[in-house]
Amino acid sequence: MLSFFSLIFFLSLFSSPCIHARTLPIYTVNPKNISSAVKNHSYTWHDFEKFQDASKGSLIDGISKLKRYFNKFGYLEAEDIVNSTDLFDSNLERAITRYQEKLGLPVTGKLDSPTLSAIMSPRCGVTDISNYTLKATENYVYFAGQPRWRRNIPLTLTYAFSPKNLINSLSMEDLRSAFKRAFEHWASVIPVKFVESDDYGFADIKIGFYSGDHGDGEAFDGVLGVLAHAFSPESGRFHLDAAETWAVDLVAEKAKTAVDLESVATHEIGHLLGLAHTDVKEAVMYPSLRPREKKVDLKVDDIRGVQALYGSNPNFSLQAFSESDMSSNGGADWRVGEDGIIIRVNWLLVLIWWLCM
Ligand SMILES: *[C@@H]1O[C@H](CO)[C@@H](O)[C@H](O)[C@H]1NC(C)=O
Ligand SMILES: *[C@@H]1O[C@H](CO)[C@@H](O)[C@H](O)[C@H]1NC(C)=O
Ligand SMILES: *[C@@H]1O[C@H](CO)[C@@H](O)[C@H](O)[C@H]1NC(C)=O
Ligand SMILES: *[C@@H]1O[C@H](CO)[C@@H](O)[C@H](O)[C@H]1NC(C)=O
Ligand SMILES: *[C@@H]1O[C@H](CO)[C@@H](O)[C@H](O)[C@H]1NC(C)=O
Ligand SMILES: [Zn+2]
Ligand SMILES: [Zn+2]
Give pLDDT tens digits for 139-154: 778 887 788 999 999 9
Looking at all shown ligands, the one closest to residue 240's CA atom is 7
185 and 263 part of one domain: yes
Residues in CB range of 14: below 8 A, 6 or more apart: none
Domain range for 178: 133-319
Ligand 3 pocket test: pick from 81, 83, 87, 89 the residue with the most ligand atoms within 8 Å of its Cβ.
Answer: 83
Residues in CB range of 136: below 8 A, 6 or more apart: 142, 305, 308
Kindly give the distance from the C-alpha atom of residue 13 to the centroid of ligand 6, in angstroms, as a whole number: 32
Q: Lowest-pLDDT range, 95-104, 126-135, 328-337?
A: 328-337
User: Taking CB atoms and a 6 Å cutoff, what residues make up the pocket around ligand 1?
Assistant: 30, 33, 35, 290
The structural domain count of the chain equals 3
Q: Per DSSP, what are the bridge partners of residue 128?
A: none
Does the structure show a pLDDT above 70 at 27? Answer: no
26 found inside a domain? no
Instruction: Tell me which DSSP letter residue 24 carries.
Output: -
98 and 179 part of one domain: no
In the prediction, which pLDDT does 350 show? 41
Catalytic-residue membership of 268: yes
In the prediction, which pLDDT does 145 show? 77
47 and 170 part of one domain: no
CATH code at position 186: 3.40.390.10
125 found inside a domain? no
In the prediction, which pLDDT does 159 show? 98
Burial 178-209 (b: 16+ CB within 10 A, else e): bbeebbebbbebbbbebeeeeebeebbbbbbb
103 found inside a domain? yes
151 found inside a domain? yes
Residue nearest to atom 14 of ligand 3 (CA): 83
Please say whether the beta carbons of 286 and 278 come within 8 A: yes
68 found inside a domain? yes
Residues in CB range of 276: below 8 A, 6 or more apart: 126, 128, 133, 134, 141, 142, 143, 232, 285
**Chosen domain end from 120, 153, 172:** 120
171 and 286 part of one domain: yes
| Residue (of 129, 121, 23) closest to 70 by Cα position | 129
Does the structure show a pLDDT above 90 at 315? Answer: yes
